[in-house]
A and B are shown apart, each in its own frame.
Chain A
Amino acid sequence: MAHRNEEEGSIGTSMHGVTAKEHVFSFSDQGEDAWSSHSVQSDDPTAMFAFPVDSEHKAKVFKPLSFAKPHMRAFHLGWISFFTCFISTFAAAPLVPIIRDNLDLTKTDIGNAGVASVSGAIFSRLAMGAVCDLLGARYGTAFLLMLSAPAVFSMSFVADAGGYLSVRFMIGFCLATFVSCSYWTSVMFTGKIIGLVNGCAGGWGDMGGGVTQLLMPMVFHIIKVAGATPFTAWRIAFFIPGFLQVIMGILVLTLGQDFPDGNLSTLQKKGDVSKDKLTKVFWYALRNYRTYVLFILYGFSMGIEMTINNVISEYFFDRFQLELHTAGMIAASFGMANFFARPIGGFASDVSARFFGMRGRLWTLWILQTSGGLFCVWLGRATSLPIAILAMMLFSFGVQAACGAIFGIVPFVSRRSLGIISGLTGAGGNFGSGLTQLPFFSSSRFHTADGLSLMGITAMIFTLLVAFIHFPQWGSMFLGPTSDNRTSKEEHYYVAEWTEEEKLQGLHEGSLKFAENSRSERGKKAAPDGTSTPLENENPANV
């Protein structure tokens, strides 16, 4: 009873990361060898999935407690892989007080290694979208996990500052799982809920940076109690994140599935996986000034978050004379706040958009990120432990919610280059982390406390850039939408990314559909537009 679905997917389906409301591929065969246990009513009667799905077999509901194939399973495998990589990347941070004695490190050495740990992912995140296109989300994820596991294990060889820096640099590449995870959820979940799904995946993955601050001192302590000397125990402790990565890699490959309908290799022989030209997609991303603004902004929310993951445990250990595991516990609560903080940020962005449209989203972002910076300043100033902890918790909420809020805006910046832009934004996070660690935490010029305050002030200054994000159709923080009748239409903005030639071929159809859906970003003034414009009357050309 195979039902051949002849509808061809629109071009421009390059899935380089987070995609919101794109059509993906056209898939034919549902096939009797359907892999789900039982089918529930769905819009597509030929599909046999555990959840209701749309015409692309993307799930229309999000049930976090389910592990059903293929959608929820992909979600869990995706975010846990990302979570594991966060654990590995920041595993050294809570153990620095031991490592610095073993390897005779200076503050400069420690700081430089911290910068190195986040720098690799700047490039791997950019490349990851293309890798997932080529290999599928499963192998994209598995490659990252299983090829960086040797780097984690090689901590046992490290004997000096140079070795330490190299190993942390190589481990850091695996943070590109952010992109592979978003890619995977984007092919599995439909546009209406993808914001929430990605907010949860991103937030829960980021939690790894917090969990590691608890996990590593605990593992270190257990190994010490079992009889190892401290300078050996920390090396053995690194085997744990290494094992986790290998196990996750194998789980991803055995339990996961690239697309709702099967794996990439199986599907490639069936239908054409049509793709947009990479150069064009890149070009339109680079031409859009908002890309750069988002790059910087994410650097001062996610970037700061990653910097704190690297420095906060040592800070509490030294400044307040705490035990290693106590400092770890406090540091952990910073990262763990991600569990709800990031999804709440995304949610707040959505709610403000309901009333005020895109202008609401921009204001929400500015408020959250600026208050994050403010509390960071307070954290640096705090001299008593309870105040420091309070400041840190408020700070963590501010920056993490800001991360969620930024990705409420990213899907609207471009439709054609959405994947590249979210990859670039993600890379900006790593860039910002390196940028803040280098001057503020890598030399003896500043006390760490002053470094924190300065970082907060810098963040608040750069967050003012939000005011420069202007959409002709929706406005910006201080300006309303343009009054020009032509440019104030969403269609104009999104179709401008296609040349006349491409429009003649009808390649811009997806953008038109997206533009129509994006009218919700006008806020309460969004009038349901029943009349179709001349552009929308074109029939999809058969390419």
Chain B
Amino acid sequence: MAIHKILFASLLICLLIQSSHAATKERLFSDLEKSALEVTATPSRVGEGVGVDKLSITWKVSSTATKEPEFKAIKVKLCYAPASQVDRPWRKTENELFKDKSCPHKISSWSYDPAMKAGQSFDYTLERDIPTGTYFVRAYAVDTKDHEVAFGQSTNEDKTTNLFSVQAISGRHKSLDIASVCFSVFSVVALLVFFVNEKRKAKIEQSE
């Protein structure tokens, strides 16, 4: 009888794990409707500089989109091209949407209603914390539950066309450099002063 109890308990546990697993709902990128949105992104010049240069972005709902009635909002994001993902596992593309790290930079989001089928076009000034790299733009359409249902991107499926590069700020400042040199010099000089002083005192005492 004890064995039956253990088996039953383990079955219960397995079921619980199973159901909780399902509850996390692994929404996959491959399930999304492709090319439901047509997205274009045009840099104002080659080798965009952050904080200064703009991207002209347009998105509109494609005529082939089937899930259009579910759209509640459009989220536009800046995504890494494969070249910027090499040897950088923190930018990896994953099929499970919650794990995917290839589109971390939010550009903007728009509440969607059917009147907006013709889309939007706007300018986006690159944020100052965008790193150097090669990028494309992707727009996700989300439903009322904030789950992605469709997307469109400014490049092709293999992410080889229409990529643009961004040049980040270095973060360096002249004032910082000068301060750094000053404190370094102070540190070395202070040490030498102490050292020489003490040697001199010892010599004086010795000669007495």
Q: How far is the CB of B146 from chain A (nearest CB, A)?
A: 17
> With A and B bound together, what is the CA distance between A235 and B170 in angstroms?
11
For the residues of B in contact with A, the DSSP-based class is: helix
Query: Beta-carbon contacts of B150-177 to A below 8 Å, as 1s and 0s?
Result: 0000000000000000001111110011
Q: Is A520 an interface residue (CB 8 A)?
A: no
Q: Are A102 and B171 touching (Cβ within 8 A)?
A: yes
Q: Which residue of A lies closest to B84 (CB)?
A: A104
Q: Is B187 an interface residue (CB 8 A)?
A: yes
Q: Are B184 and A153 touching (Cβ within 8 A)?
A: yes
Q: Are A100 and B183 touching (Cβ within 8 A)?
A: no
> With A and B bound together, what is the CA distance between A269 and B201 in angstroms?
12
Q: CB-CB < 8 A to B173: which residues of A?
A: 156, 232
Q: Is B206 an interface residue (CB 8 A)?
A: yes
Q: Which of B171, B191, B205 contacts A249 (CB 8 A)?
A: B191
Q: How far is the CB of A274 from chain B (nearest CB, A)?
A: 19
Q: How far is the CB of B51 from chain A (nearest CB, A)?
A: 8
Q: CB-CB < 8 A to A232: which residues of B?
A: 171-173, 176
Stretch in contact with the other chain, from B39-47, B71-79, B127-135: B127-135
Q: CB-CB < 8 A to B198: which residues of A?
A: 263, 265
Q: Are A147 and B176 touching (Cβ within 8 A)?
A: no
Query: Beta-carbon contacts of A102-124 to B below 8 Å, as 1s and 0s?
Result: 10101110000000000000000
* A150 with B87, Cβ < 8 A, contacts A142-B194, A231-B169, A253-B194 known: no
Q: Which of A100, A229, A242, A245 contacts B128 (CB 8 A)?
A: A229
Q: CB-CB < 8 A to B202: which residues of A?
A: 265-266, 268-269
Q: How far is the CB of B92 from chain A (nearest CB, A)?
A: 10
Q: Are B89 and A444 touching (Cβ within 8 A)?
A: yes
Q: Which of B88, B171, B179, B191 contacts A146 (CB 8 A)?
A: B191
Q: Is A52 an interface residue (CB 8 A)?
A: no
Q: Are A156 and B180 touching (Cβ within 8 A)?
A: yes
Q: Are A142 and B172 touching (Cβ within 8 A)?
A: no
For the residues of A in contact with B, the DSSP-based class is: helix
Q: Are A106 and B179 touching (Cβ within 8 A)?
A: no
Q: Are B176 and A230 touching (Cβ within 8 A)?
A: no
> With A and B bound together, what is the CA distance between A443 and B202 in angstroms?
54
Q: CB-CB < 8 A to B133: which residues of A?
A: 104
Q: Is A246 an interface residue (CB 8 A)?
A: yes
> With A and B bound together, what is the CA distance between A100 and B87 in angstroms?
12
> With A and B bound together, what is the CA distance between A243 and B172 in angstroms?
19
Q: Are B187 and A149 touching (Cβ within 8 A)?
A: yes
Query: Beta-carbon contacts of A144-158 to B below 8 Å, as 1s and 0s?
Result: 001101100110110
Q: CB-CB < 8 A to B187: which residues of A?
A: 146-147, 149-150, 242, 245-246, 249
Query: Beta-carbon contacts of A136-172 to B below 8 Å, as 1s and 0s?
Result: 0001001100110110011011010000000000000
Q: CB-CB < 8 A to A156: which residues of B?
A: 172-173, 176-177, 179-180
Q: Is B188 an interface residue (CB 8 A)?
A: yes
Q: Are B183 and A444 touching (Cβ within 8 A)?
A: no
Q: CB-CB < 8 A to B176: which residues of A?
A: 156, 232, 235-236
Q: CB-CB < 8 A to A249: which residues of B?
A: 187, 190-191
Q: Which residue of B lies closest to A155 (CB)?
A: B180
Q: CB-CB < 8 A to A104: which residues of B?
A: 131-133, 168
Q: Are B168 and A318 touching (Cβ within 8 A)?
A: no
Q: Is A447 an interface residue (CB 8 A)?
A: yes
> With A and B bound together, what is the CA distance between A217 and B192 in angstroms?
33
> With A and B bound together, what is the CA distance between A100 and B90 in angstroms?
10
Q: Which of A97, A235, A268, A444 contacts B172 (CB 8 A)?
A: A235
Q: Is B186 an interface residue (CB 8 A)?
A: yes
Q: Are A318 and B90 touching (Cβ within 8 A)?
A: yes
Q: CB-CB < 8 A to B185: which residues of A?
A: 150
> With A and B bound together, what is the CA distance between A253 and B199 in angstroms?
13
Which residues of B from 89 to 133 have beta carbons under 8 Å from A? 89-90, 128-129, 131-133
Q: CB-CB < 8 A to B169: which residues of A?
A: 229, 231
Q: Is A43 an interface residue (CB 8 A)?
A: no
> With A and B bound together, what is the CA distance between A136 and B88 in angstroms?
46
Q: CB-CB < 8 A to B199: which residues of A?
A: 265
Q: Are A231 and B183 touching (Cβ within 8 A)?
A: no
Q: How large is the interface on A (under 10, 10 to 19, 20 to 34, 35 or more residues)?
A: 35 or more
Q: Which of A101, A150, A239 contacts B131 (CB 8 A)?
A: A101
> With A and B bound together, what is the CA distance between A222 and B204 in angstroms?
49
Q: How far is the CB of B185 from chain A (nearest CB, A)?
A: 8
Interface centre among A153, A249, A443 (most CB of B within 10 A): A153
> With A and B bound together, what is the CA distance between A154 and B129 in angstroms?
22
> With A and B bound together, what is the CA distance between A150 and B89 in angstroms?
33
Q: Are B184 and A149 touching (Cβ within 8 A)?
A: yes
Q: Is A250 an interface residue (CB 8 A)?
A: yes
Q: Are A101 and B168 touching (Cβ within 8 A)?
A: yes
Q: Is B3 an interface residue (CB 8 A)?
A: no
Q: Are B172 and A106 touching (Cβ within 8 A)?
A: no
Q: Are B191 and A239 touching (Cβ within 8 A)?
A: no
Q: Are B190 and A231 touching (Cβ within 8 A)?
A: no
Q: Which of B90, B172, B186, B188 contacts A147 (CB 8 A)?
A: B188
> With A and B bound together, what is the CA distance between A232 and B168 in angstroms?
12
Q: Is A189 an interface residue (CB 8 A)?
A: no
Q: CB-CB < 8 A to B191: which residues of A?
A: 142-143, 146-147, 249, 253
Q: Are B172 and A159 touching (Cβ within 8 A)?
A: yes
Q: Is B86 an interface residue (CB 8 A)?
A: yes
Which residues of A from 213 to 258 have beta carbons under 8 Å from B? 229-232, 234-236, 239, 242-243, 245-246, 249-250, 253
Q: CB-CB < 8 A to A242: which residues of B?
A: 183, 187
* A153 with B183, Cβ < 8 A, contacts A229-B128, A229-B171, A265-B198 known: yes
Q: Which residue of B lies closest to A106 (CB)?
A: B87
Task: Pick 18 A–B contacts, CB within 8 A, sort by A.
Answer: A101-B129, A101-B168, A147-B191, A149-B187, A150-B183, A154-B180, A154-B184, A156-B180, A230-B129, A231-B129, A234-B171, A242-B187, A243-B183, A249-B190, A250-B190, A265-B199, A269-B206, A318-B90
Chain A residues with CB under 8 Å of chain B are 97, 100-102, 104, 106-108, 139, 142-143, 146-147, 149-150, 153-154, 156-157, 159, 229-232, 234-236, 239, 242-243, 245-246, 249-250, 253, 263, 265-266, 268-269, 318, 443-444, 447-448
The 10 closest A-B pairs by CB, nearest first: A231-B171, A150-B184, A101-B131, A106-B87, A265-B202, A153-B180, A146-B191, A149-B187, A156-B180, A156-B176
6 further A-B pairs in the complex, CB-CB below 8 A; given A97-B90, A230-B171, A243-B183? A102-B131, A104-B168, A147-B188, A153-B181, A232-B172, A253-B194
